[in-house]
Amino acid sequence: MHILSALAAFFLVVGLAARSWRLHKERAAELADPGIQLLRRYERDVDTIELRLITGMKALGFNLLTPTCVAKDPSLLEDCDRFDRATPLVDEWRLSMEERFARHERDMSNAPVDEQFKPTIAEGLAGWRTLYAVYLPRRVELTKRQIATTCRLCRLLARRNWHIQNDSFGFFSTDELADFQEIVADLNDLGAQQRQVIMDTSRAD
């Protein structure tokens, strides 16, 4: 896959994650109004938490290591260590998600809803709790591996032993070309694994 496609796919995966953490409409419709209001508030907060991670990573230039951007702004390759600064953002994302879900659990458990809806709420919360126990650590692991791989890409490009060829990077060294292809393949694989985690979570919800 083209490097631009690999990087774009990464941000698409991160952006889609929040929307996968929603109850199906038919299940939400079973809840009384207070429960639905709490659920919608929770969804908005999760979207905000996801957006904060995306914004922070974009600010570090994760989406800018493309032939066009690097050719226009060579300084993008001057501080490859900056990508490592995204690691605390991922840890903060996980903590925020855990804290927000814990609050959502309390809110939903104490919601003034009809008794007939409480078993549905309890069942839904238990299911989400199980999903979070698997989903959050896996998302963190994959995102941190994507951070490390982006650092590898930046350091390779920082050697400047390349030229722009057909809107992609062409390398003067066969060894560096092989390294580049391996890095892009790793980014694609990590993106695919992220998508699979989200799809598995959506199916289990």
- 162 DSSP assignment: E
Residues sharing a CB contact under 8 Å with residue 78, sequence separation 6 or more, in sequence order: 158
Residue 158, phi then psi, degrees to nearest 5: -65, -20
What pLDDT score does 1 carry? Answer: 42
Nearest 5°: CA angle at 148, between 147 and 153?
Answer: 95
**Which token pair is 112?**
């003034």
Q: Which amino acid is at 114?
A: D
What pLDDT score does 205 carry? Answer: 56
**Which token pair is 152?**
């590898």
CB atoms within 10 A of CB 88: 10
Q: Which residues pair with 170 in a beta bridge?
A: 163
Quick check: helix, strand or coil at residue 56? Answer: helix
pTM: 0.80
Q: Which amino acid is at 139?
A: R
What pLDDT score does 3 carry? Answer: 54
Q: Which amino acid is at 27?
A: R
Residue whose pair of structure tokens reads 């980014």 in the numeric block: 187
Asked whether the beta carbons of 117 and 31 are under 8 A apart, the reply is yes
Write out the H or E segment, with its range, that includes residue 163.
strand 162-165
What pLDDT score does 30 carry? Answer: 47
Q: Which residues pair with 169 in a beta bridge?
A: 164
Extract the runs of DSSP E, i.e. beta strands, from the chain.
162-165, 168-171
Quote the radius of gyration of the chain (alpha carbons, Å). Answer: 20
What pLDDT score does 162 carry? Answer: 95
Map out the domains of the chain as residue ranges: 3-59+76-202
Residues sharing a CB contact under 8 Å with residue 155, sequence separation 6 or more, in sequence order: 80
What pLDDT score does 13 carry? Answer: 47
Nearest to 117 by CA among 7, 35, 50, 52: 35
- Average pLDDT, consecutive stretches of 10 residues, N- to C-terminus, the chain (205 residues): 49 48 47 71 89 94 93 94 96 94 87 77 80 87 96 97 91 96 95 86 63
